[in-house]
Amino acid sequence: MKSERALRGAGGSGGLGAGLKYTSRPENMNGCEEGVEFLPANNSRKVEKGGPRRWVVLVAVLTVFLALSLLAGLLAWHFQDRNVRVQKIFNGYLSVRNENFLDAYENSNSTEFANLAKKVKEALKFLYSGIPVLGPYYKTSTVTAFSEGSVIAYYWSEFDIPKHLVKEAEQAMAEKRMVTVPPRARSMSSFVMTSVVAFPSDPRKVQNTQDNSCSFALHAQGSEPTRFSTPGFPDSPYPSHARCQWTLRGDADSVLSLTFRSFDVATCDERGSDLVTVYDTLSPVEPHAVVQLCGTYPPSYNLTFLSSQNVLLITLVASTERRHPGFEAVFFQLPRRSSCGGYLRGAQGTFSSPYYPGHYPPNVNCTWHIEVPNSKNVKVRFKAFFLQEPNVPVGSCTKDYVEINGEKYCGERPQFVASSRSNKITVHFHSDQSYTDTGFLAEFLSFDARDPCPGSFMCNTGRCIRKELRCDGWADCTDYSDELDCECNATYQFTCRDKFCKPLFWVCDSVRDCEDGSDEEGCSECGRGRGGGRCPAPRGLAAGPRAPAESSCSPGCPPNTFKCDNGKCLPQSQQCDGKDNCGDGSDEAKCQDVKAVTCTKHTYRCLNGLCVDKSSPQCDGNEDCTDGSDEKDCDCGRRSFTRQSRVVGGENSDQGEWPWQVSLHAQGHGHLCGASLISPSWMVSAAHCFVDDRGFRYSEHSMWTAFLGLHDQSKRSAPGVQERGLQRIIKHPFFNDFTFDYDIALLQLDRPVEYSATIRPICLPAADHTFPTGKAIWVTGWGQTQEAGQAAMILQKGEIRVINQTTCEHLLPQQITPRMICVGYLSGGVDACQGDSGGPLSSPEADGRMFQAGVVSWGEGCAQRNKPGVYTRLPVFRDWIKQQTGV
Ligand code: 4AZ
């Protein structure tokens, strides 16, 4: 989870061995043998006439000729291939015994450095000369750095290897070796190198020793942080096609902590990317890479990495022309811990992976022996668990893992519990030499085996949850065990065939809430005594546990009833009665004779001043105003793609599904807020996104870039994405930074966008437009997908419902104003979260158009029970928007 954006595990060996894939030789040989068998020589005797015999001879001669040509070709190819040489560069490190580290070794211009480097090079030459697959092809070696341990030398060696020997040579280099160079004179001692190992490297990453223009060596100053950055940061972009490296060192017996405070390099995409790699060594070797980063990270993103020794190497390989500010980072040293883990005793306590929530160091093994009082049992609850490594198949914990009771856990996991049948438990944590993550935070607790969850319900996973959450229709235990074997309360619950309980008003609402679909069966009588609300999507922007559901039921309605666009069945008499009985306005949408009435705050005022008694007549496909003004300016709220967007059970949006959704990036921070497009030049967002904070001028329009038509944050240069600056930010003059009242802003683009398949405006609701309680609407954004989790790369969507204002005022006392609307679920589960702010609430209205119901504003946490998200009500601001923008 932590490093969704991190392009970790990209292979370092590039196009290695591409030529070796050529395998046509055996097939050609088979073809040749078949040809010879086709006309065996003794067959000719059976041919009686002279003519046919000549034929046979001719064919035989031709066949032999062809076979010989083929053989000659194959031989030529074979020998030519043997002569083709490939330049191979191997990066490696080794340990020099019987040498002590000198400070001068940190300076590659010192005589001491040159002397030791010479000896290492001689020893390497000596070593390679004894290896048949390497010796004859060896060209040169360069020592790039030394560090403590007796002395560790970092080097690269160059070879010109026949193509067909490349694989063998790579294997030979990867074998850890030891070399003892015999002394030249009796008085001298031999020169011993151990752990000599090297890996093929991308020649682009080998620093040219002559070019030090972007090479920096830094040594930590005491425990003070040392700052460094890409050249020109933040005022100018780092050079295109740059090759930069930073060698970070600490004192012997220290480890380093490195934090990227701001990170914005070119996007990682298939057209090439600029890549920053952090290595846990001073050689840029893939098996010791800690992380690979590209793209832009928000400041909240955890980019702290720990080393296992006193060195780190950072490389920047820029392969694009794109202009980005680069990064700013700090590092400092810490005393190296001799061990981690240990004995934990008592009734309860907490522990975590080393340096949590920073990325744990590579190469660590920690064991915690936990013991609670004798009469009790012990369980360990993992509150956060992030041990994700690239290229590890799901379920196989072959790299970093936690092991408890013989079972290994790895990857990213929601909260879980492991328990023991005694008062002791042992937790072992292992990280291998490459790629790290933020690790885990855990607590151990003692419990009475006879009553493991006093006063609560125990999930099959061992977790305890409140008793009231049992059989409430929501999967509070991640394994659904709280919803198994339920006896539903018939007065307000429906019993699914699989015995899950669901709220009665979810029955026949066109949404499949029971896993087995039984809530949507036999719905011909739907509408009778059953509520019309739809069920929430199971997962959303910030998702909590929720049973999967999908839309499947579209029941017909009984005679003399009307079927709403949302599937509800109503008595025919309620159609065109001037009231929105369906909740989506569809029962009022196609009425012929809407009469002009006295204007009230519940009527719609046409351009000619007359009012019609119809809720939300705008852009519904019917001319309700005599002047037709309710159907003017209706190029909004529609997608270009006809694909039905109601995909319940998934959270990624489809490309172009929300063409009005905009991503706002602040310079050096990446995506921070959402916005919605309302015209070619204007967008709506949240005012709180543009408040100066901690020295950053978020209120400055020049700090922001808007991405329109964006789907994947890592593909901001994809075709169809339009990038614009801001010309003006108009925060609502009454916006209150403390209460978040009037949390709305209008943003003018520096240049109009062109509408396209993936860029279109959303409709603005009229001032009298209502979004009734229970109405299902969509929230979208790239915000965090879990509270305190990580921002999404792909635009997320979640279906939520309008909550009654009075209910919301009770849930969030003294905080809700008439400018706010609460939308979500009292049971939690689907919600907006940090990073979604400013984005739209899209409400499907009549005639298949989306109207903006609100702007993501605030909430207490994300997706929590009884804490719905709070949004700025859009209709309240309709006149202000018109006045400010003309839209
Ligand atoms: C935010 O910080 C934020 N759960 C937005 C919405 C919500 C919470 C936080 C609603 O931008």
Rounded Cα distance, 750 and 299, in Å:
26
Q: Give the separation between CA 124 and CA 140, rounded to whole angstroms.
A: 9
Task: Please indicate whether residue 371, judged by its CB atom, sits closer than 6 Å to ligand 1.
Answer: no
HEC sequence for 533-573: CCCCCCCCCEECCCCCCECCCCCCCCCCEEECCCCCEEEHH
Q: What's the gap in Å between 836 CA and the centre of ligand 1?
A: 7
| Beta carbons of 428 and 413 less than 8 angstroms apart | no
Ligand 1 neighbour 836 (Cβ under 6 A) = yes
Give the chain's end-to-end CA distance (angstroms, integer): 41
Mutate to test the pocket of ligand 1, among 541, 689, 808, 858 (most ligand atoms within 8 A of CB): 858
From the candidates 665, 669, 688, 732, give the one annotated as an active-site residue.
Answer: 688
Residue nearest to atom 2 of ligand 1 (CA): 834
Q: Point out the ligand 1 atom lying closest to the alpha carbon of residue 673.
A: 11
CA atoms within 13 Å, Cβ hemisphere of 121: 17
Instruction: Give which of 606, 603, 609 is closest to 588, Cα–Cα.
Output: 603
- Which is the catalytic residue, given 837, 842, 843, 857? 837
Q: How far apart are CA 140 and CA 117, in angstroms?
A: 12
Q: How far apart are CA 536 and CA 285, in angstroms?
A: 48
Tell whether ligand 1 has an atom less than 6 A from the beta carbon of residue 832. yes
* Torsion sign (Cα): 879, 884, 886, 887: negative
Report the residue among 856, 860, 870 best suited for mutation to probe ligand 1: largest number of ligand atoms under 8 A from its CB. Answer: 856
Q: To which H or E segment does residue 844 belong?
A: strand 840-844
- Polymer length of the chain: 887
Q: 341-345 and 364-371: which strand pairing? A: parallel
Residues 776 and 330: their CA atoms lie apart, in Å, by 46
C-beta atoms surrounding 749 within 10 Å = 21
Between the CA of 307 and the centroid of ligand 1 the distance, in Å, is: 34
Amino acid at 455: G
Ligand 1 within 6 A of CB of 837: yes
Query: For residue 556, how many other CB atoms are within 10 A of its CB?
Result: 11
Q: Considering only CA atoms, give the Rg of the chain.
A: 35
With a 6 Å cutoff on the Cβ, whether 869 touches ligand 1 is yes
CA of 857 to the centre of ligand 1 (A): 6
Active site residue 743: yes
pLDDT of res. 17: 27
- Residues 476, 482, 580, 743: which is the catalytic one? 743
Task: Reduce the secondary structure of 407-453 to three states and give it as a string.
Answer: EEECEECCCEEEECCCCEEEEEEEECCCCCCCEEEEEEEEEECCECC
Q: Is 712 among the catalytic positions?
A: no
Question: Running along the chain, 887 residues long, what does each successive block of 10 average in pLDDT?
Answer: 29 28 31 30 38 74 83 69 84 92 93 95 94 95 92 95 93 92 81 93 60 89 94 90 93 95 78 86 94 76 91 92 89 90 96 95 96 94 90 84 94 86 96 95 93 89 83 75 84 82 72 76 48 29 37 50 71 73 65 64 78 82 86 85 32 87 94 97 97 90 96 91 96 94 97 93 93 89 82 90 88 93 85 94 89 96 87 96 95
Determine whether 465 is exposed, middle or buried from the number of CB atoms within 10 Å of its CB (0-12, 13-18, 19+): middle
**688 is annotated as an active-site residue:** yes
Predicted local confidence at residue 167, as pLDDT: 93
SS3 11: coil
**Residue 487 burial by Cβ neighbours in a 10 Å radius (0-12, 13-18, 19+):** exposed
Q: How far is the CA of 835 from the centre of ligand 1 (A)?
A: 7
The residues facing 329 across adjacent strands are 228, 260
Where are any strands of DSSP class E within 717-785?
A: 722-731, 745-749, 776-781
Show the tokens assigned to 470.
């049992």
Q: How far is the CA of 88 from the centre of ligand 1 (A)?
A: 52
Burial grade of 48 (CB within 10 A; 0-12, 13-18, 19 or more):
exposed
Rounded Cα gap, residues 822 and 648, in angstroms: 22
Taking the C-alpha atoms of residue 686 and residue 189, their distance in angstroms, rounded to an integer, is 73
Kindly report the backbone phi and psi dihedral angles of residue 153, in degrees, each rounded to the nearest multiple of 5, phi listed first: -110, 135
**Cα–Cα distances in angstroms (integers) from residue 339 to residues 249, 336, 749, in the given order:** 21, 9, 56
| Beta carbon of 824 within 6 Å of any ligand 1 atom | no
Q: Which residue has the tokens 């209120």?
A: 699
Q: Is any atom of ligand 1 closer than 6 Å to the C-beta of 833?
A: yes
The pair phi, psi for residue 821, each rounded to 5°, is -135, 135
Nearest to residue 276, comparing CAs of 230, 212, 211, 226?
A: 230
Outline where 334-437 has alpha helix (H).
none
Residue 648, helix vs strand vs coil: coil
Pocket test for ligand 1, best of 836, 871, 872 (most atoms within 8 A of CB): 836
Gap between the Cα atoms of 426 and 681, Å rounded: 61
DSSP H helices, 257-381, are none
Task: Tell me which residue has its CA closest to atom 1 in ligand 1.
Answer: 834
Mutate to test the pocket of ligand 1, among 833, 865, 871 (most ligand atoms within 8 A of CB): 833
The residue whose CA is least distant from atom 11 of ligand 1 is 834
Q: If you measure from the C-alpha of residue 781 to the centroid of ligand 1, how many angstroms do you get, rounded to a whole number?
A: 11
Helices 50-83 and 24-38: angle between axes, nearest 10 degrees = 160
> Residue 786 has which token pair?
């879990």
The protein residue whose alpha carbon is closest to atom 3 in ligand 1 is 834
Ligand 1 touching residue 779 (CB < 6 A): no
State the DSSP string of 680-720. SSEEEE-GGGGS-BTTB-TT-GGGEEEEES--BGGGTTSTT
Measured between alpha carbons, how far is 749 from 708 in angstroms, rounded to an integer? 11
Tell whether ligand 1 has an atom less than 6 A from the beta carbon of residue 419. no
Give the pLDDT score at 300.
54
Strand 464-466 to strand 191-200: parallel, antiparallel, or no bridges (unpaired)? Answer: unpaired
Query: What is the value of pTM for the model shown?
Result: 0.57
Tell me, in angstroms, the distance from the centre of ligand 1 to residue 374's CA: 45
Angle at 729 between CA 724 and CA 731, to 5 degrees: 145
∠ CA 817-819-822, rounded to 5°: 75
**How many angstroms separate the alpha carbon of residue 637 from the centre of ligand 1?**
24
